[in-house]
């Protein structure tokens, strides 16, 4: 995968909906993530959202805004592992 793209993977089961992000949440990719979220949000019902940012390499202001909106609307659990993604998780949850 190119470093200038964002891969979005959805995983659904009876209890959770997972959105796994890989790459850059920036520019047109932030817009695409928002589009995916608008389509996915009505499918949550009583399921918990897990937002996996473990493989996110960058987020610009638009990306951060989109991630914050998703988390605010769904009270998502954020999965992060590296120092960078843990920092990003903190920024999203502010």
Domains of the chain: 6-93 (3.30.750.24)
Instruction: Give pLDDT tens digits for 42-51.
Output: 999 899 999 9
Residue 86 in contact with residue 56, Cβ under 8 Å?
no
Question: pLDDT band at residue 3, thresholds of 50, 70 and 90?
Answer: low
Report how far residue 80's alpha carbon sits from residue 75's, in angstroms, rounded to the nearest whole number.
16
> Side-chain half-sphere of 50: how many Cα atoms within 13 Å?
14
| pLDDT at 94 > cutoff 90 | no
Alpha helices, DSSP H only, in the chain? 28-40, 61-74, 83-93
Tally the residues of the chain.
94
Three-class SS state of 68:
helix
* pTM of the predicted protein model: 0.92
What angle (nearest 5°) sits at the alpha carbon of residue 38, between those of residues 41 and 23? Answer: 100
Going by their DSSP bridges, the two strands 6-12 and 48-59 should be labelled as: unpaired
């Amino acid at each position: 995968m190119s470093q200038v793209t964002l891969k979005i993977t959805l995983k659904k089961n009876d209890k959770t909906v997972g959105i796994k992000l890989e790459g850059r949440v920036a520019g047109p990719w932030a817009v695409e993530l928002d589009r995916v979220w608008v389509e996915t949000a009505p499918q949550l019902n009583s399921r918990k959202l897990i937002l996996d940012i473990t493989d996110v390499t960058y987020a610009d202001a638009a990306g951060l805004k989109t991630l914050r909106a998703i988390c605010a609307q769904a009270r998502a659990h954020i999965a992060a592992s590296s120092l960078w993604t843990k920092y990003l998780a903190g920024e999203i949850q502010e």
